[in-house]
């Protein structure tokens, strides 16, 4: 599938009739074609035909897709060893900041996610057709030029000035066009895509990560189907390296089961209140928006009913089941960050402050709720090793203790890393019991990071730093520093200034200041 509405060699573009090019653009355009868009294309064609007379040896693209941003670049030119990314503002008399940021964002997206662009020189160009002439600064950092600004009369001039900085190489335009585009979705983008019916392989940046996620999904689906077949109760403990997509895997499982097996009422539960709110709102807005595009009428209220059932706050789920002796509607539940469920002391103390009697740890209670089902049910616990960060968070051991002491008839499936690495279970007796009673599944560990587009080794670096392994961390850092710069300073203002200089387009920056410990 071509990413552009129209693409051709520049020499053939110069020979093609204006109506032929316009026809190709109109044919690929999926929305209603308004006069404003058609006239903008006509003007672009006319301007570029005039400007590119001196540069026939290259390739031109109209409306090149940037899938992660859900937008299209007006034009891309591949000339010698440069990728010119062009944003037209037909009729504009100023070089607006938002337009400059827009074209820089396109360039960053190509540089970060399009394999053919990773190591090429990329030139953002804003063409405000009626703006005054300005002198440009030709500076390049990390293969990305400072944005160039021009009106319709000086395009060829800035192309010539740029090409004078060529290293004599030429980009293979065919290879560039066929390069993989592997975006890293945010958790919001991923949840929206899954909710609309896309698979993890379509939205995952890493091919290996997509395979890893798919194998994990298949494994858990087999466990659920086995529980249904034998009317048994099962629990899965899923682990993963930082950034491997445990939350994405959980959302994927809950979404797949909810769509294909409505009777299961699969649900994704999280104790992260802001995440629950943001994901719900994102799903609602996205579904309503896409319904409008299809000419359908869907209210936010109706969409909210579905989204609120799909993603729930784990504490609300807990409180709802405190006042009921019936089994919940859900037969498949996914617990995000299960290691952060509360110990018995923490849960009892909290419930007492609310005037409620309670005598279980949170893991025991959540298993007990699902244990009320007659027939099958499955719990999927997403577990981060050593990530119990607040007082009263139980860790994985509390889940295993509950199963060992009260629910020995449950089928237990666990990631092999849980018994191989000490940061999941510290008590040897629990490790031995789990090995004896459970089923080790290597597919329940996500070993490939899909979060970091620059280096899959960043997760390993972070792991070694947290573990205090300085030599290993230093060795990894030396390999990734060129693609993931780390700047060390003890001066707060220096750190702030460095971040501001590095930020491009609409990239956001931030600082986390750790307060000094007091005696």
Angle between helices 428-437 and 396-406 (to 10 degrees): 60
CB 315 within 8 A of CB 341: no
CB 170 within 8 A of CB 80: yes
134-163 confidence digits (pLDDT tens): 999 999 988 999 999 999 999 999 999 999
Burial class (CB in 10 A: 0-12, 13-18, 19+), 223: buried
Please list the residues that pair with 206 across neighbouring strands. Answer: none
Q: How many CA atoms lie within 13 A of 456 on its CB side?
A: 13
Pairing of strands 445-446, 233-240: parallel
Report the distance separating Cα 504 and Cα 142, nearest Å: 12
Q: Which residues of the chain have pLDDT under 70?
A: 1, 30-32, 67-70, 182-211, 241-244, 385-392, 394, 448-457, 459, 481-483, 512-519
Report the distance separating Cα 145 and Cα 405, nearest Å: 63
Please list the residues that pair with 333 across neighbouring strands. Answer: 267, 379
Q: Largest Cα–Cα distance of the chain, in whole Å?
A: 82
Report the distance separating Cα 337 and Cα 91, nearest Å: 52
Q: Which phi and psi (to 5°) does residue 285 adopt?
A: -60, -40
Report the distance separating Cα 263 and Cα 54, nearest Å: 66
Take residue 63 and report the two structure tokens written for it.
Answer: 């409306």
CB 148 within 8 A of CB 162: yes
Give the contacts of 311 (CB within 8 A, at least 6 positions apart).
191, 267, 268, 270, 276, 279, 280, 283
Give the pLDDT score at 512: 66
Closest Cα to residue 353, out of 364, 367, 342, 363? 342
Angle at 517 between CA 511 and CA 518, to 5 degrees: 140
Give the contacts of 245 (CB within 8 A, at least 6 positions apart).
200, 204, 209, 213, 446, 450, 451
Take residue 170 and report the two structure tokens written for it.
Answer: 């030429």
Give pTM, 2 decimals: 0.62
CA 275 from chain center: how many Å? 14
| Alpha helix ranges (H) inside 311-469 | 314-322, 344-353, 362-371, 396-406, 417-420, 428-437, 458-466
CB 425 within 8 A of CB 456: no
Report the distance separating Cα 41 and Cα 114, nearest Å: 25
Cite the residue boundaries of each domain of the chain with CATH code 3.40.50.
187-446
Report the distance separating Cα 414 and Cα 435, nearest Å: 9
Closest Cα to residue 118, out of 178, 62, 176, 69? 176
Rg of the chain in Å (alpha carbons): 27
User: 187-446 has which fold?
Assistant: Rossmann fold (3.40.50)
Give the pLDDT score at 381: 94
Give the pLDDT score at 224: 95
Report the distance separating Cα 443 and Cα 460, nearest Å: 20
CB 18 within 8 A of CB 63: no
């Amino acid at each position: 599938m071509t990413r552009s509405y129209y693409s051709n060699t520049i020499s053939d573009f110069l020979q093609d009739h204006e109506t032929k090019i316009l026809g190709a653009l109109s044919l690929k355009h999926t929305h209603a074609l308004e006069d404003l868009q058609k006239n903008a294309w006509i003007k672009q064609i006319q301007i570029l035909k005039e400007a590119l007379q001196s540069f026939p040896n290259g390739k031109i693209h109209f409306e090149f897709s940037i899938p992660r941003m859900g937008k299209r670049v007006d034009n891309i030119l591949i000339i010698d060893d440069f990728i010119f990314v062009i944003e037209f503002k037909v009729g504009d008399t100023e070089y607006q900041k938002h337009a400059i940021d827009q074209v820089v964002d396109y360039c960053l997206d190509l540089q970060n996610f399009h394999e053919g662009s990773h190591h090429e020189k990329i030139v953002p160009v804003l063409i405000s057709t009626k703006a005054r002439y300005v002198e440009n600064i030709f500076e390049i950092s990390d293969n990305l030029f400072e944005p160039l600004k021009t009106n319709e009369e000086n395009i060829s001039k800035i192309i010539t000035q740029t090409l004078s900085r060529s290293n004599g190489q030429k980009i293979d335009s065919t290879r560039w066009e066929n390069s993989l585009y592997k975006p890293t979705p945010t958790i919001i983008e991923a949840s929206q895509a899954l909710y609309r019916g896309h698979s993890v392989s379509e939205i995952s940046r890493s091919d290996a990560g997509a395979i890893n996620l798919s194998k994990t999904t298949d494994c858990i689906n087999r466990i659920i189907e086995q529980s249904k077949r034998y009317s048994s109760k099962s629990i899965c403990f899923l682990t993963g390296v930082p950034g491997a997509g445990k939350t994405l895997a959980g959302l994927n499982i809950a979404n797949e089961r909810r769509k294909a097996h409505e009777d299961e009422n699969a649900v994704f539960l999280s104790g992260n209140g802001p995440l629950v709110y943001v994901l719900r709102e994102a799903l609602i807005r996205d579904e309503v928006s896409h319904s409008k595009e299809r000419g359908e009428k869907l209210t936010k209220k109706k969409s909210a009913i579905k989204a609120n059932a799909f993603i729930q706050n784990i504490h609300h789920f807990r409180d709802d089941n405190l006042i009921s002796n019936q089994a919940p509607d859900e037969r498949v539940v996914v617990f995000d960050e299960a290691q952060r469920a509360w110990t018995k002391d923490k849960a009892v103390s909290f419930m007492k402050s609310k005037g409620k009697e309670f005598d279980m740890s949170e893991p025991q209670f959540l298993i007990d709720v699902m244990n009320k089902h007659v027939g099958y049910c499955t719990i999927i616990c997403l577990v981060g090793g050593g990530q119990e960060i607040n007082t009263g968070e139980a860790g994985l051991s509390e889940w295993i203790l509950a199963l060992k002491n009260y629910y020995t008839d449950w089928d237990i499936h666990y990631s092999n890393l849980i018994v191989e690495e000490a940061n999941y279970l510290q008590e040897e007796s629990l490790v031995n019991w789990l090995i004896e009673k459970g089923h080790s599944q290597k597919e329940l560990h996500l070993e490939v990071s899909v979060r970091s587009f620059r280096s899959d080794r960043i997760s390993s670096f972070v792991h070694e730093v947290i573990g205090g392994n300085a030599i290993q961390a230093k060795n990894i850092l030396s390999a990734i520093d060129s693609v993931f710069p780390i700047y060390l300073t003890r001066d707060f203002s220096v750190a702030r200034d460095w971040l501001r200089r590095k930020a491009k387009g609409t990239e956001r920056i931030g600082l986390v200041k750790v307060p000094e410990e007091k005696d």
